[in-house]
Structure 1
Amino acid sequence: MNDSTNHQEKNPVYISFCTQKGGAGKSVFTTLAASYLHYEKGYNVAVIDCDYPQWSIHKMRKREAEQLQANAFYQRKAEVLFQKLNKPAYPVVPSMPEKAMTRVSEFLANESEGYELVLFDLPGTVNNESVVEILF
């Protein structure tokens, strides 16, 4: 990967950070990686939150949007930030693990934005056929 701002590729790279242990920080690491790659390195990133039932990344994004709607001060701050970055926030799409690959295909097919990287936030177990299907 390079740091140029024009990273258009036809097929996105799928990335996931996995461990069998719940509470190990996978959602935090996924959020940090997505933010760094999207905002600092200029890649077009999407996150598929498959960590049902927590959906922590999706719920965090929803809370952030609600807080911005409720507070004009932070709304202005966000507008200035996104104008400076010249790109919107990366999308976070909730999905059941077993539907993740279908969900990401539908999402990418309906988006005009070309995504180069898709990060998956998976549940804290690989003792689930749907998680294994995503990984392989």
Structure 2
Amino acid sequence: MNDSMNHQEKNPVYVSFCTQKGGASKSVFTTLAASYLHYEKGYNVAVIDCDYPQWSIHKMRKREAEQLQANVFYRRKAEVLFQKLNKPAYPVVPFVPEKAMARVSEFLANESQRYDLVLFDLPGRSE
């Protein structure tokens, strides 16, 4: 990993995977890219889920958290994994598309963590 990217003090790079077609696996691709970049490549990544009203990534993360709360076996496996990685899960934050940029700026300003990349999951249609 590029050391200057790892310790940057500048703004993060914003990336979106978008197409007007619904059901084109944008959420899947965003999740895969975020996980690879965060856990495998060591970048600090945040995901902004703007795919209102589905918010697929946000809902998936919520289900994962509920599963970890309900099941000691999975909770322990997650603890071991995150200790091994020495890295917490990347945040997934839901915002409506119209307000996403302003809200992302607020989110980043209030975080102690500095992010290298912010990935946006955008809706397939514009209304």
**TM-score, normalised by the number of residues in structure 1:** 0.87
Mapped to 1, the partners of 2:86 and 2:8 lie a distance apart of: 16
Residues 3 and 41 from structure 1, CA distance in 2 versus in 1: closer, same or farther, beyond 3 angstroms? farther
Matched, 1:23 2:41: no
Confirm or deny: 8 A CA contact 1:5 1:42 kept in the other structure: no
1:4 deviates by 8.4
User: 1:43-82: per-residue Cα shift (whole Å, max 9, x none)?
Assistant: 0000000000000000000000000000000000000000
Confirm or deny: 8 A CA contact 1:49 1:57 kept in the other structure: yes
Instruction: Identify which of structures 1 and 2 has the higher relative contact order when contacts are C-alpha pairs closer than 8 Å and 6+ apart.
Output: 2
1:103 deviates by 1.1
User: 1:6-42: per-residue Cα shift (whole Å, max 9, x none)?
Assistant: 3434110000011110000000000000000000000
User: 1:65-115: per-residue Cα shift (whole Å, max 9, x none)?
Assistant: 000000000000000000000010000000000010011101100001000
Unaligned runs of 5+ in 1: 125-136
Confirm or deny: 8 A CA contact 2:46 2:92 kept in the other structure: yes
Mapped to 2, the partners of 1:112 and 1:65 lie a distance apart of: 22
SS of the residue aligned with 1:93? strand
Confirm or deny: 8 A CA contact 2:48 2:95 kept in the other structure: yes
Mapped to 2, the partners of 1:121 and 1:6 lie a distance apart of: 23
How many residues are treated as equivalent by the alignment? 124
Mapped to 1, the partners of 2:99 and 2:116 lie a distance apart of: 21
Two-structure CA RMSD over aligned residues (Å): 1.6
1:3 deviates by 7.7
Mapped to 2, the partners of 1:57 and 1:95 lie a distance apart of: 12
Mapped to 2, the partners of 1:3 and 1:50 lie a distance apart of: 30
Mapped to 1, the partners of 2:86 and 2:60 lie a distance apart of: 22
Unaligned runs of 5+ in 2: none
The percentage of counterpart residues that share the same residue type is 91
1:2 deviates by 3.3
Mapped to 1, the partners of 2:3 and 2:50 lie a distance apart of: 28
